[in-house]
């Protein structure tokens, strides 16, 4: 379980996260939604322990995170050395046979298209998931970006399998219809605050979405 209470983050004198209290439990899929200035990625990074200023406010199994516990994090734009190849990132194709990336194996990362790169980054995340003992949580920031429908469906299936193994999954998504489809709970952010949290049918309502996005939004 990962949680925070009254979490605040200020960067360059600007409030990024304000009074955030939330919990994600084992075997639960939580989707974080909101507009591009809502603080979604910052919240994911804070809960992952990647933002030093937030570490004392984040708990893992009700204990302060003295060290980052076993977890896997896929950032929205991972920093990868341009000269690395796909094989450098993943190590062995045996860990990710369902991704079908043998044809990309010796390609430098810099030569991949946006969709290919995202697919390889996802393969790397699942390789880490399978090689890291006692992983308790998977963080995914916009995992479907740049993927075709077939690959999106495959990732959503893998996310469900991960949940069924008892691992918590926290996902930042812009696609509200996908959030409705896979989330056990949704956190809806607005200007660095949680506007609402709960089951998708209680959070992704016309009134709350209008308040979050300041426009009419169709979730499905």
Q: What tens digit of pLDDT does each residue of 60-110 get?
A: 888 887 666 789 999 988 877 778 999 998 988 888 999 999 889 999 999
Burial of 201 (0-12, 13-18, 19+ CB in 10 A): exposed
Residue 66: what pLDDT?
Answer: 65
Q: What's the per-residue H, E or C state across the chain?
A: CEEEEEEEEEECCEEEEEEEEEEECCCCEEEEECCCCCCHHHHHHHHCCCCHHHHHHEEECCEECCCCCCEEEECCCCCCCCCCEHHHHHCCHHHHHHHCCHHHCCCEHHHCCHHHHHHHHHHHHHHHHHHCCCCCEEEEECCCCCCCHHHHHHHHHHHHHHHHCCCEEEEECCCHHHHHHHCCEEEEEECCEEEEEECHHHHCCHHHHHHHHCCCCCCC
Percent of the chain at pLDDT exceeding 90:
79
Residue 81: what pLDDT?
Answer: 77
Residue 208: what pLDDT?
Answer: 97
Residue 135: count of CB within 10 angstroms of its CB = 19
What is the CA 41 to chain-centroid distance, rounded? 8
Residue 90: count of CB within 10 angstroms of its CB = 23
Compute the distance between CA of residue 11 and CA of residue 16 in angstroms, rounded to an integer. Answer: 7
Residue 65: what pLDDT?
Answer: 76
Residue 61: what pLDDT?
Answer: 84
Residue 15: what pLDDT?
Answer: 95
**Ranges of the chain whose pLDDT falls below 70:** 66-68, 217-220
Enter the pTM of the model: 0.93
Phi, psi of 56 (to 5 degrees): -70, -15
């Amino acid at each position: 379980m990962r949680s925070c209470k009254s979490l605040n983050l200020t960067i360059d004198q600007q409030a990024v996260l304000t009074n955030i209290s939330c919990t994600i439990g084992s075997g639960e899929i939580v989707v974080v939604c909101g507009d591009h200035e809502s603080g979604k990625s910052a919240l994911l990074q804070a809960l992952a322990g990647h933002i030093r200023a937030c570490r004392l406010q984040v708990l893992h199994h009700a204990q302060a995170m003295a060290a980052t516990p076993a977890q896997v994090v896929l950032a929205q734009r991972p920093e990868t050395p341009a000269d690395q190849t796909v094989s450098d990132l993943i190590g062995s194709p045996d860990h990710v046979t369902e991704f079908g990336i043998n044809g990309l194996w010796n390609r430098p990362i810099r030569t991949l298209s946006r969709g290919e790169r995202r697919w390889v980054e996802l393969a790397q995340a699942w390789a880490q998931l399978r090689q890291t003992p006692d992983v308790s949580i998977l963080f995914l920031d916009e995992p479907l970006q740049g993927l075709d429908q077939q690959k999106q469906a495959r990732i959503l299936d893998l996310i469900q399998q991960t949940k069924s193994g008892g691992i918590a999954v926290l996902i930042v998504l812009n696609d509200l219809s996908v959030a409705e489809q896979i989330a056990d709970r949704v956190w809806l952010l607005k200007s660095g605050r949680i506007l609402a949290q709960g089951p998708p049918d209680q959070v992704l309502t016309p009134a709350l979405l209008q308040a979050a996005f300041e426009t009419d939004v169709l979730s499905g």
